[in-house]
Structure 1
């Protein structure tokens, strides 16, 4: 990545025209060929940019960035205060900590957020077709199977339905109710869950970690 801090003016010529008058700015030139012009505000959003694929031509204090459509970003450099290049390497990508396994662990440790008097039977309760994320009992002593997803979609409801069919064949567990829990649940999944007699719970990940309000929304 190349970082240039310079007093410059910027002109865009393409489907429309735009002009940035002279001012100190940060110019980012990335290895993918993209060029972005930033000010010292607006968070991550550049003032103007050119997305790849594009070419950069430098001559006499003037940069011309052109894409395949013939659109041009013309940067006129008046004073360069910093010009440095850094090799960042391959980025490993964003690793999110709100994965299903962690949600399962947090919820198992805090069964009371599902309701007062709820108790855990077992995490990863094995069935013939796979493990149920959480098997627990509600305040009345009824068995409840909880399927946890980061994003709740129809296939998750179908999966829980299959688990419930098997679990309800066990006289020591039946009747077994179902809860479909996720950080966000698609409307179609809600409709299918309601049709199957399954409750939906929206999980507040930060709340489960004790960062914010620890309430769950039960629908």
Structure 2
């Protein structure tokens, strides 16, 4: 990776035209050929950039440019679209190359798999005294994240028909951020699971770190309970307590 801090002006031509007036900026030329133009602001987002596949070529400035103080011109051209990023460099304040090696990639903490694993270990958050039947409980339309046995779900036989004092099982769908789609997904699981006499009646719990207001409303309308998960607390870090609504 090459890092250059320079006083420069930048022009993008192609599907759209854009111009960055003369200023001091950071130019990042990566090993994949891409070029990113950063200012000392705007967080991580570059002011302009060219994504691979592209090539960078250094050019001598024209006579008019040289007389205006341009020392070097970079032209970065996209191989497929022909779009071009042209950088006029007036002064170089820093220029360095760094071999970063092979990056192992981002390892995320708190993804849905982590939430599912922790909740499987702490099913009492779903219902007091509940026990885990299985993670990734299979159905014909896909696996339910958690199938939990409800201690209050006692089946009573009456005149060859089955009545219950509560749901025997709880189907739990785990999300980081739950929207209406999550409610619809759990609804489909519940419709299918409640056809199985060995499982029915099955109630649903949508467990997530955050739940959209529309999803909360729809879940309530369909008799699905909502469980807010505090990931830090579940990991043993001092925080709030998950609450079942």
**TM above 0.5:** yes
Q: Secondary structure at the match of 2:119?
A: helix
User: Does residue 79 of structure 1 match 2:92?
Assistant: yes
How has the CA–CA distance of structure 1 residues 158 and 92 changed in structure 2, closer, same or farther, with 3 Å as cutoff? farther
- The one-character-per-residue Cα deviations of 1:35-75 (angstroms, maximum 9, x if unpaired) are 10223433211132223343311134221223334443323
Map of 2:38 onto structure 1: 38
Counterpart in the other structure of 2:116: 104
What's the secondary structure of 1:161's corresponding residue?
helix
Q: Which moved more, 1:100-109 or 1:137-146?
A: 137-146
The 1:20–1:139 alpha-carbon spacing in structure 2 relative to 1, beyond 3 Å, is farther
User: Distance in 2 between the 1:41 and 1:127 partners?
Assistant: 48
Which consecutive residues of structure 2, in runs of 5 or more, have no partner in the other structure?
A: 61-71, 155-165
Aligned CA distance change for structure 1 residues 32 and 160 (closer, same or farther; 3 Å): farther
Question: In structure 2, what is the equivalent of residue 119 of structure 1?
Answer: 129
Q: Give the Cα separation in 2 of the matches to 1:128 and 1:98.
A: 24
2:162 counterpart residue number: none
Distance in 2 between residues matched to 1:69 and 1:204, nearest whole Å: 49
User: Are residues 57 and 125 of structure 1, via their aligned partners in 2, closer, same or farther at CA, if it must alter by over 3 Å?
Assistant: closer
1:217 deviates by: 6.0
Aligned to 1:94: 106
1-structure distance, mates of 2:18, 2:116: 52
- TM-score, normalised relative to structure 2: 0.63
Indicate how the Cα distance of structure 1 residues 161 and 97 shifts in structure 2: closer, same or farther if over 3 A, else same. Answer: farther
CA contact (8 A) 1:49 1:73 kept: no
1:148-163 alignment runs, 5 A limit: 148-150=173-175, 152=182, 154-163=184-193
1:205 equivalenced with 2:231 (yes/no): yes
Q: Could you give the per-residue CA deviations for residues 130-180 of structure 1, whole angstroms, max 9, x where no partner exists? A: 7771414367884341323336263443234333432xx24xx76442223
User: Which residues in structure 2 correspond to 1:124-135 (within 5 Å)?
Assistant: 124=134, 129=139, 133-135=146-148
1:65 aligns with 2:65: no
- Corresponding residue of 2:7: 8
Q: Which has the larger radius of gyration?
A: 2
CA distance in 1, matches of 2:87, 2:105: 32
SS in 1 for 2:130: strand
CA contact (8 A) 2:59 2:73 kept: yes
Per the alignment, residue 207 of structure 2 pairs with 181
**Offset at residue 124 of structure 1 (A):** 0.7
3-state SS in 2 of match to 1:119: coil
Distance across 1 between alignment mates of 2:188 and 2:58: 58
Paired residues, number: 208
What RMSD over aligned residues (CA atoms) do the two structures have, in Å? 3.8
Partners in 2 of 1:30 and 1:87 — Cα distance?
A: 10
**Distance across 2 between alignment mates of 1:155 and 1:179:** 12
Q: Deviations over 1:88-120 (max 9, x none)?
A: 33x5543333344432332244445446xx122
